[in-house]
Amino acid sequence: MVHSPRLDAASAIRAGPHIALVKSPPPDAEGRIGISRVLRLHWLFFGRRVAGTFFRIQHLFRGVYIESGFTVQGGRNITLHRGVVIQRRSVFTTAPGARLVVGRGTRVGSDAVISVAHEVILGENVLIAARCFIADYGHRFSNQDVPVMHQGAETPRAVRIDDGAWLGINVCILPGVHLGRNCVVGANSVVTQSVPAGAIVAGVPARVVRTTGGETEDPSR
């Protein structure tokens, strides 16, 4: 059996939660990837699938519904409240010491990814459509001589999505964003800044287009 080395919290944040349980060496000068790295990656993703199955069973009688294909890393750092629904093939990853909280009645669509190095809080009755991506960290990319995947992660910044918010399909929420209560994010938007309560935002980067009360923002602002 192949054993994955465990990393401390600081190392996991530098590496990013996607690889928090395995520290693989980069390819050699000729671009070859060693068999040990291949085995470690297989073990990592197999472990996530097995962990996802046990996570589903654990929450079966807690008023939480999780569909098949769910994968998880760092399940001990995840709190799901009653009435949460997570649809098929969603992926939740947390680094050691991180925290992911999903509030009562929140629904997460299929193929969504939530990746946490420090903290992500989803409020109650939040609606997250399919293929959304939420992360509280990003990858470093300043060194032109090193592949981005080997440069580690930036310092994480907490993400918070308040009660009643709605994220359309394919939305991306970047680090440090706070979405206010009952705000709406249009499909395919990339949210780089915090959004006030009741606002409707859309675009890349997302901008306020109007409020849920019908008031239209001045586009010249």
Active site residue 139: yes
Nearest residue to 59 (alpha-carbon basis) of 84, 87, 88, 93: 84
Nearest residue to 68 (alpha-carbon basis) of 83, 81, 86: 86
Strand 78-80: give its sheet, edge to edge: 78-80, 99-102, 119-122, 159-161, 178-179
Of 81, 139, 150, 178, the catalytic one is 139
Cα dist. 2→22, 26, 37, 39 in Å? 11, 19, 11, 7
172 CB neighbour count, 10 Å cutoff: 21
Tokens of 163: 């009660």
Query: DSSP assignment, residue 155?
Result: P
Helices (H), the chain: 9-15, 35-58
- The residues that are catalytic are 139
